[in-house]
Amino acid sequence: MSKTSPSTAGDRIVPVILSGGSGTRLWPLSRTGYPKQFLGITQEQTLFQLTLARLEAFTGLDAPLIVGNENHRFILGEQLQSLGVRPQAILLEPAARNTAPAIAAAAFAAMAHGADPLLLVLAADHVVEDVDAFCQAVQAGVPAARAGSLVTFGIVPSAPETGYGYIEVDAFAADGGACDVAGFVEKPDLATAQAYLAGGRHLWNSGMFLFRASVVLAELERFSPTVTAAAREAVGKARADLDFLRLDKAAFSASPDDSIDYAVMEKSDKVKVVPMSAGWSDVGAWRAVWEVAAKDANGNAVRGDVLLHGSSDCYVRSDHRLVAAIGLQDVMIVETSDAILVAAKHAVQDVKKVVDRLKAQKRPEANLHREVFRPWGSYDSIDQAERYQVKRITVKPGQKLSVQMHHHRAEHWIVVSGTALVAVGDKEVMLTENQSTYIPVGVIHSLENPGKIPLELIEVQSGAYLGEDDIVRFADIYGRAPVTASATPA
């Protein structure tokens, strides 16, 4: 893959990666607390990491600017660090407000020091198989963006897809460059989508953009001034927190919940579209994951410990145990530690309805996996009953849980591997493999890994109430404010 330089001297291009989505249609793998962009859906690397890796095909790009949900901040930081990517900023959204305010905030942040770069806006959860074609399309859009257009990228359709919005083109440019947009179309029914495919003038709306920061802000001011005002104030009042920039909560939350398409692109007369054929997918549902996955001679795509017999055109994923499927056709099966999805391929768009029911019932499976990730490591709830709970806790080298206390539960810690520095009341002790300690109810305690390898331990909780909101936090190295009866675990 050759490197492409889409700019000329004097131009700056800042990649803006939007990573705040929830990906509920890929439940049970994707959860609110750990959504699809941070998961290895199609490869070992996550979709977010693959998006960043695509930028390596360019030369002359600025460091990326990341916009993400504040609840995912440590996941973002860890995945950036694992790639060795140092972004120019990580903007944390205090509330989900769709793509228009996110892009506006990114534009204000990019212009904070008087610059006015081109912004290459990408979603963190898309698949692009042909990176060279992607780079060529971006390069084709640069002249129009430099001249003041709002450039979007339309995917040349390969099927009558009813799950995407469409962009209607006036006439295609002979050189494959930017062309005029006749209009944006909502997700069509099958007959309409077939007509679009046959007519050859409609492209899938990819949600990728290229425009100058000042231009998109001017158009937002023209059509959605409340979005602009909220984003300007949110960035102006933002505060630094470790490697992150927290947007002001009151200001950002006051913004309308609008997409950039609705707020600007469907209304502006500055919009151009560049056709792209790059093996793109937004992997928005399990059928789309099956479509981009490698398949066997019977059309089956599998991942993990899977045994198939007499089955065809299925997607089966197992993360924790053997899954056997017999005599199935066009079925999706996804196994995680705490949930299994079985769905007909034609019905996978309804997964969101299952998630909505789980949320209405306040089921934890809607938001978190059994294994929950924290900035210090993770914990996995292995077993639980009315008055006890067993967790496997992993603490990364050099990391420390918050100094805390519980009103209703006692805890036993047994070290499996690594070294634990434990403080219980006014006593501090170093524990190694096969050693243990006891933390009574109401005693202030902390846990730290001072070693060079991960600390693995088993925690046995016992008491009348074992909820994660029975935490009084006194100190925390990650900047999490001390709280009483917090709903956020250690």
Q: Which of 281, 305, 327 is the last residue of a domain?
A: 281
User: What span, in angstroms and rounded, lies between the C-alpha atoms of 234 and 473?
Assistant: 28
Instruction: Determine, yes or no, domain membership for 1.
Output: no
User: What span, in angstroms and rounded, lies between the C-alpha atoms of 257 and 182?
Assistant: 25
Instruction: Determine, yes or no, domain membership for 134.
Output: yes
Domain co-membership, 259 together with 213: yes
Q: For residue 380, what are the CA distances in angstroms to 59, 150, 182, 460?
A: 42, 46, 52, 12
Domain co-membership, 234 together with 307: no
Cβ proximity of 111 and 218 under 8 Å:
no
pLDDT at 98: 92
Question: Tens digit of pLDDT per residue, the chain (490 long)?
Answer: 556 655 444 478 999 999 988 878 999 999 988 999 999 998 889 999 999 999 998 888 899 999 999 989 889 988 998 899 999 999 999 999 999 999 999 999 999 888 899 999 999 999 999 999 999 999 999 999 999 999 999 999 988 988 889 999 988 887 778 999 999 998 999 999 999 999 989 999 999 999 999 999 999 999 999 999 999 999 999 999 888 999 999 999 999 999 999 999 999 999 999 999 999 999 989 999 999 999 999 999 999 999 999 999 999 999 999 999 999 999 999 999 999 999 999 999 899 999 999 999 999 899 888 888 888 999 999 998 889 999 999 999 999 999 999 999 999 999 999 999 999 999 999 999 999 999 999 999 999 999 999 999 999 999 999 988 888 899 888 876 554 444 344 5
Instruction: Determine, yes or no, domain membership for 490.
Output: no
* Beta strand ranges found along 19-116 (DSSP E): 65-69, 89-93
Cβ proximity of 42 and 117 under 8 Å:
no
pLDDT at 481: 55
Q: Of 214, 3, 209, whose CA–CA distance to 123 is shortest?
A: 209
Question: Element (H or E) spanning 271, and its range?
Answer: strand 271-276
Alpha helices in 118-271 (DSSP H): 131-146, 190-199, 213-223, 225-236, 249-253, 260
Domain co-membership, 263 together with 389: no
Number of domains in the chain: 3
Contacts of 261 by beta carbon, 8 Å cutoff, 6+ apart: 99, 165, 184, 205, 207
pLDDT at 171: 87
Domain co-membership, 411 together with 312: no
Instruction: Determine, yes or no, domain membership for 182.
Output: yes
Alpha helices in 34-90 (DSSP H): 47-54, 73-83
Cβ proximity of 355 and 366 under 8 Å:
yes
Within a 13 Å sphere around the CA of 243, how many CA atoms are in the beta-carbon half? 18
Domain co-membership, 277 together with 295: no
User: What span, in angstroms and rounded, lies between the C-alpha atoms of 270 and 225?
Assistant: 17
Q: Which of 221, 256, 281 is the last residue of a domain?
A: 281
Domain co-membership, 291 together with 429: no
Q: Which CATH number goes with the domain that contains 420?
A: 2.60.120.10
User: What span, in angstroms and rounded, lies between the C-alpha atoms of 415 and 433?
Assistant: 5
User: What span, in angstroms and rounded, lies between the C-alpha atoms of 223 and 265?
Assistant: 10
> Which class for 133: exposed (0-12), middle (13-18), buried (19 or more C-beta within 10 A)?
middle
Instruction: Determine, yes or no, domain membership for 7.
Output: no
Domain co-membership, 294 together with 275: no
Domain co-membership, 67 together with 200: yes
> Which class for 19: exposed (0-12), middle (13-18), buried (19 or more C-beta within 10 A)?
buried
Instruction: Determine, yes or no, domain membership for 358.
Output: no
pLDDT at 58: 87
Q: Which of 231, 266, 281 is the last residue of a domain?
A: 281
Domain co-membership, 306 together with 411: no
Q: Which CATH number goes with the domain that contains 173?
A: 3.90.550.10
Instruction: Determine, yes or no, domain membership for 252.
Output: yes
Peptide bond into 28 cis (omega under 30): yes
Domain of residue 298: give its range. 286-352
Neighbours of 96 (CB within 10 A): 13
Give the SS3 label for residue 236: helix
pLDDT at 370: 87
Domain co-membership, 377 together with 321: no
The encoded tokens of residue 140 equal 């084709």
DSSP string, 157-181: PSS--SSS-EEEES---TTS--EEE
Pairing of strands 150-155, 202-212: antiparallel
Domain co-membership, 52 together with 201: yes
Domain co-membership, 250 together with 334: no
pTM above 0.85, yes or no: yes
pLDDT at 489: 43
Instruction: Determine, yes or no, domain membership for 488.
Output: no
